[in-house]
Amino acid sequence: MANRTCVNMVIHMLLIMQAWLLCECSVQFTNTSTNLRRVLLTDYDAQVRPALKTQVSLQMVLVSLNSIDTATQSMSVNCLWFTTWRDERLTWNSNQYNGTDFLALQKTEVWTPPLVVSNEMNKVGPIGQEGVPLRVFHDGKMLWIPPTRLETSCTIDISNYPFDVQACIINITGWTYATDELDLHTDPDKPITLELYSAHGEWELTHTSASLSDFNGGFNKQYRDIQYSLTFRRRWQYYGLTLLLPLILSSCLMTGVFAVPVESGEKIGYSLTVLLSFTVLLTLISDSLPAISTRTSALQIYLTLVMNLGTLITFLTTLVLWLYYQDDKKPLAHGTLLLYRVMAGCASVKPKSRTVRPQGMVLEDSDISRTTSSMNTPRTKTCSTNVSSAWSDKGGKHEVAEDVTWQDFAKCLDAFFLRVFTFIFIAVTVVFLGVMYGTYYAST
């Protein structure tokens, strides 16, 4: 029992000694840091740059992409700026200060390079907030990492929307100081760091780069810009399901008006409903694109073309209805019959039987019936054979009495237009998607 008591007393004494040592070290560190700050900042002028030509190295650490707004042509990002330079006025021997090799100071206490993002849209000014400290190392090296949220202008290319690729640039310059006073540069091997970057749901980061650009700022002084380029590619899967798929399906529905029977009385209503859906889609797309005339989206061209075709289809549907309800007593002209036989062959519609008789001969109804039945042998005809037969009948010594009504002619037009416009829509859609996909994957 006595041994246990002794052990407990020893443990308590050790804990008390450890706490005292920690407290003593903390007080010693505080006193050392206070003395060091006083020594370094005495007679220090934060308005004067460290040297005649101060070299400042800048590296961008991209944290996240907030948005790329195509309507306002802007990009918003969160990033850090690893900024380093050397200030010989802030050096000390670490052995004389209990091994203290760095010190944290406020931005207002020392000189910091006035770095400005020149294409900032909200508030143009030096980067870095007042409360962001910086590190001063014993050899005079300065490390400053100010966090920033930038909204910069970005020239948007909407030509391939929604399969578009956007390249946005962040221009940063050393304000006031020329290149012979402030040598601003970046790491050529790794100007942009992506270790902290979080992937965006809509945009995929595909390429980063940086370049230096010197320009004449007047008074024979050269100034320098660092242009950080960020290339993003839009993830098209969401737009494919919510925009492109309904668009293609609506295109298919538009040609279906020619398959609706005239007797249903729904042809005009069907056509106008599909055309209205295209107008709504065009409005939705226009709201998400900038109102500029220098670039035109291929999707807008496609929608406009399809809408014009839909307007033409509505007009042709009206024409079919007008022909269908013509008076049956009004005979079809020879040119109309010729057009009927040509379209019947092209649309794979079996034409009405023809009654052939010598010129000037009049047949009784019973003779017409017998002649019609004898001529009603199925034959395979093409567009060319129908045209040639029609012309040879006209120029020969026989007359053609064809039992074709206006209703037959209107139905033939429906079948012909159905095939023609289906082919047009398929061709236009395949070309549109082929060009968009090719440009999208070529950007990789």
Looking at residue 185, what is its pLDDT? 93
> Which tokens sit at 264?
């249903």
pLDDT band of 370, cuts 50, 70, 90: very low
**pLDDT tens readout for residues 166-187:** 999 999 998 889 999 999 999 8
Looking at residue 79, what is its pLDDT? 96
Q: Which helix (H) or strand (E) holds 80?
A: strand 74-86
**pLDDT tens readout for residues 105-139:** 999 899 999 999 999 998 888 888 777 899 999 99
Q: Count of CB atoms within 10 A of residue 112's CB?
A: 23
Per-residue pLDDT averaged across 223-242, rounded?
A: 91
**pLDDT tens readout for residues 317-338:** 999 999 888 887 788 888 888 8
> Which tokens sit at 121?
């849209």
Query: How many residues in the chain?
Result: 444
Q: Which residue has the higher pLDDT, 391 or 254?
A: 254
CA separation for the pair 28, 137 (Å, rounded): 19
What is the DSSP secondary-structure string of 198-236?
B--SSEEEEEEEEEEEEEE-STT-EEEEEEEEEEEEE--
Cβ(204)–Cβ(444) below 8 Å:
no
To the nearest whole number, what is the mean pLDDT of the chain?
81
pLDDT band of 220, cuts 50, 70, 90: confident
Per-residue pLDDT averaged across 234-238, rounded?
A: 89
Looking at residue 387, what is its pLDDT? 42
